[in-house]
Amino acid sequence: MGRDMSFLDKAKTALNQAKDKAADLAEQHGDKIDQAIDKGGNFVDQKTKGKYSDKIDKAQGAAKGAADKLAAQGVDDAPAPPAAVPDPAAPPPTAPTATPIHPTDQGGPTHV
């Protein structure tokens, strides 16, 4: 089996890298993202002849909020330390064993 990371560990690492990249891009291009959200919403509003304007405005606001939140993560998040991966060659941890108590240890009779 070796010291290879499991598939799940690799997937988590890839997802974290993608999230970090998306946060960086959102931070760098926030104005372009907002413009694209506005343009897309306006296009849909125009095609629906204003019938869903209030819902489109809400969706645009939510999308901009999500983009802002993602951009803020790019600013606020320090890189997380890598997760500890147990060494498969290492012996499993053992629980401490209790020391048996003898009657003489408790001041009891010495002949039992």
Q: Whole-angstrom Cα distance, residue 17 to residue 3?
A: 21
Structural contact between residues 47 and 41, judged by C-beta atoms closer than 8 angstroms? no
pLDDT tier for residue 1 given thresholds of 50, 70 and 90: very low
Per residue in 68-83, pLDDT tens?
888 887 665 545 555 5
pTM: 0.50
CB atoms within 10 A of CB 71: 20
* Terminal Cα distance for the chain, rounded: 53
pLDDT tier for residue 11 given thresholds of 50, 70 and 90: confident
CA distances from 46 to 37, 39, 51, 92 (A): 14, 10, 9, 64
Per residue in 17-59, pLDDT tens?
888 888 887 887 778 888 999 999 999 999 999 999 999 999 9
What residues does each domain of the chain span? 1-77
